[in-house]
């Protein structure tokens, strides 16, 4: 998969590309990351990418032209995603869907947002939550990270098949050594070696965890039936 990030702050992505699982996926040529500074696609001498809002208003809007020109520089067919608080809420289901794409391009905004006509250039508008950030760089990395880990051979399939939100359930509790710490004990069922009992316990705890923390997810399961 190839992932393009359109931004006016390309250094945001330096650590993202060079650390941990993402760096290994790049090294193994499973993923290619391309950061595009759309400030370089302006036609004015000042490399200005924003301007005042027609009709008045506070702040500045990102202009459509440099973004359009930056998108035109991408040669492969790509799914174009705009990061915006107005977008469809991101989910694990969407991450799985996007992990099957061959190329994705994220447009990270700044200031008061985009000239509305930018929305004619995109395939999808996604939000990571009902709040506002200073820019789209962090959301683009959040979504890219969740997608990349689902691409075959990036991590072991067993590492994510029981993730929270798979099948609309939160993950079950997990423990490691020591078996007891300051009076807090690992459940006995996890220590007895009976895999059938362990699997049953994990399913029960996943449902219990979801009921206690995110009952709305259980309602979603009922509505899907």
- Residue 193 burial class via C-beta count within 10 angstroms: exposed 0-12, middle 13-18, buried 19 and up: exposed
Helix or strand holding residue 212 (H, E): helix 195-213
Rounded alpha-carbon distances, angstroms, from residue 11 to 16, 19, 20, 104, 138 = 10, 14, 17, 19, 12
> Of these residues, 72, 112, 123, 157, which one is catalytic?
112
* Residue 110 designated active-site: no
* Residue 10 designated active-site: no
* Residue 149 designated active-site: yes
* Residue 117 designated active-site: no
Question: Which residue reads 């040529």 in tokens?
Answer: 29
Rounded alpha-carbon distances, angstroms, from residue 36 to 106, 135, 210 = 10, 15, 40
> Of these residues, 37, 163, 173, 202, which one is catalytic?
163
Retrieve residue 124's tokens.
């999808």
Rounded alpha-carbon distances, angstroms, from residue 99 to 88, 96, 126, 162, 218 = 17, 5, 15, 17, 25
> Of these residues, 101, 115, 145, 149, which one is catalytic?
149
CA gap 102, 104 in Å, rounded: 7
Catalytic residue list: 85, 112, 149, 163
């Amino acid at each position: 998969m190839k992932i393009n990030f359109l931004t006016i702050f390309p250094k945001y992505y330096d650590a993202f590309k060079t650390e941990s699982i993402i760096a290994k996926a790049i090294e193994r040529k499973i993923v290619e990351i391309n950061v595009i500074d759309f400030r370089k696609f302006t036609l004015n001498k000042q490399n200005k990418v924003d301007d005042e809002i027609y009709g008045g208003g506070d702040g500045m809007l990102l202009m459509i032209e440099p973004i359009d020109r930056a998108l035109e520089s991408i040669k492969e067919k790509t799914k174009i995603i705009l990061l915006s608080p107005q977008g469809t809420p991101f989910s694990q289901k969407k991450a799985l869907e996007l992990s099957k794409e061959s190329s994705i391009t994220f447009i990270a905004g700044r200031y008061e947002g985009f000239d509305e006509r930018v929305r004619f250039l995109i395939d999808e508008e996604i939000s990571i939550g009902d709040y506002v950030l200073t820019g789209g760089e962090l959301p683009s990395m959040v979504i890219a990270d969740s997608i990349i880990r689902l691409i075959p051979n990036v991590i072991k399939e067993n590492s994510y098949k029981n993730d929270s939100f798979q099948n609309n359930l939160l993950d079950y509790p997990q423990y490691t050594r020591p078996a007891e710490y300051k009076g807090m004990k690992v459940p006995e069922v996890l220590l007895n070696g009976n895999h059938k009992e362990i699997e049953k316990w994990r399913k029960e705890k996943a449902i219990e965890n979801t009921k206690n923390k995110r009952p709305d997810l259980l309602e979603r399961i009922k509505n899907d039936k």
